[in-house]
Amino acid sequence: MGADSQRRGGAAFEGPGARASASVFAALDLGTHNCRLLAAVPAGESFRVVDAFSRIVRLGEGLGRTGRLSAAAMDRAIQALRICKGRLRKARVVKQRNVATEACRRAVNCDEFVERVLAETGIEIEIISAAEEARLALDGCAPLLERSCDFAVVFDIGGGSTELMWLAIGEGREPRIEESMSLPFGVVTLAEKYGGDRLPEAAYREIVANVMKRVAPFEERHRIRDRIAAGTVQMLGTSGTVTTLAAVHLDLPRYSRPSVDGAYLTFADVSRLSRSLAAMSAESRAEHPCIGPKRADLVVAGCAILEAICATWPVGRLRVADRGVREGILIGLMRAAAQAGATA
């Protein structure tokens, strides 16, 4: 969110434990809303970011209505990918993974787009499943999970879909995904359906009710509310929605990843901030330094999804992660390289 283009210090990320190396690894995430690139080198138990790039491309614009990626959206994405290609070349990346998510999963003309990307930029895009997207997001934000708590609800509110995970956590082992679920809507699809200006209360309640209905079977299968009552569940959110709310809550003069990543929001804060933003015009939201004009029409839809998640699972507070798929990709690439080196 916000300042994705900022250079990020690797000390904030507990990486795969690869040995120090000059080898540069890169992760490219082409989502429904953003095109994001992160390049880094292993650094002890972490990694050090050497370059980061983010551009809002709205690849999924109009997709819910037409089922297709529009020519304008594809042009915007390819323009951003050309920039990524130049940065990858300059960084002398030795290993990279380039993934696309919900917009490409849904578009009937996705193959055409992927072929065009390869022809015009030389970048080979891998379209990953919703389950793989959830796993990568978890890998990226897992260091923020409290290992003293036995279970976790983790979510990622994206542009075209929302990923949910129910995790079992134990001391001395990696978190285990008991089940993941993908909701077929995100901030872009809902903003296009309901509008991006002032959202009427009835429309806001409709989104909340629809999300709660969709996740009800997930809750019934795992009886998460019973675990919450026992005090054994934490919640972690990784998305532009939660990072935006955290930045607004902290009253930051401009978006600051170090301030937001790892912060906590109470559910009372979520409700207050969400309703406040919903009551504002898109123009007023655009004037906020931590929202800006390119997200002003999307944030309220994300707030409605978030409120539904909080109402379904009343943990009481959530932890905010400004990290996710790209960091998960980097961790996987570096871990594989370290294992290959150990067996060479």
pLDDT greater than 90 at residue 117: yes
Contact 92, 48 (CB under 8 A): no
pLDDT bracket for residue 173 (50, 70, 90) = confident
Determine the pLDDT at residue 11. Answer: 36
Q: What is the pLDDT of residues 274-284, one digit of tens each?
A: 999 999 999 99
pLDDT greater than 80 at residue 18: no
- Where residue 170 falls (left for φ over 0; alpha for ψ -120 to 50; beta otherwise) is beta
Fold of 10-129: Nucleotidyltransferase; domain 5 (3.30.420)
Determine the pLDDT at residue 343. Answer: 66
pLDDT bracket for residue 174 (50, 70, 90) = confident
Q: Which residues pair with 100 in a beta bridge?
A: 30, 127
Mean of pLDDT values over 237-265: 96
CA distances from 22 to 13, 43, 51, 228 (A): 18, 9, 14, 45
- Where residue 231 falls (left for φ over 0; alpha for ψ -120 to 50; beta otherwise) is left
Contact 64, 31 (CB under 8 A): no
Residues with Cβ within 8 Å of 102's Cβ and at least 6 positions away in sequence, in order, are: 31, 32, 60, 130, 133, 158, 159, 160, 161, 186
pLDDT bracket for residue 9 (50, 70, 90) = very low
Average pLDDT of the residues of the chain: 91
What is the spatial distance between Cα 192 and Cα 89, in angstroms, rounded to a whole number? Answer: 36
Percent of the chain past pLDDT 90, that is, above it, reads 85
Residues with Cβ within 8 Å of 120's Cβ and at least 6 positions away in sequence, in order, are: 78, 82
Determine the pLDDT at residue 307. Answer: 97
pLDDT greater than 50 at residue 17: no
Burial call 292-311: b when 16+ CB within 10 Å, e when fewer: beebbbbbbbbbbbbbbbbe
In what helix (H) or strand (E) does residue 68 lie, and over which residues does it extend? Answer: none
Longest dimension (CA), the chain: 62
> What angle, 0 to 180 degrees and rounded to 10, lies between the N-to-C axes of helices 267-279 and 240-249?
90
3-state secondary structure of 132: helix
Fold of 132-320: Nucleotidyltransferase; domain 5 (3.30.420)
Q: What is the pLDDT of residues 64-81, one digit of tens each?
A: 899 999 999 999 999 999
What length is written for the chain?
344
Could you tell me the residue ranges of all domains in the chain? 10-129, 132-320
What is the spatial distance between Cα 229 and Cα 239, in angstroms, rounded to a whole number? Answer: 26
What is the spatial distance between Cα 144 and Cα 221, in angstroms, rounded to a whole number? Answer: 26
Indicate if 132-320 has the same CATH topology as 10-129.
Answer: yes
Q: What is the pLDDT of residues 151-169, one digit of tens each?
A: 999 999 999 999 999 999 9
Q: What is the pLDDT of residues 252-264, one digit of tens each?
A: 999 999 999 999 9
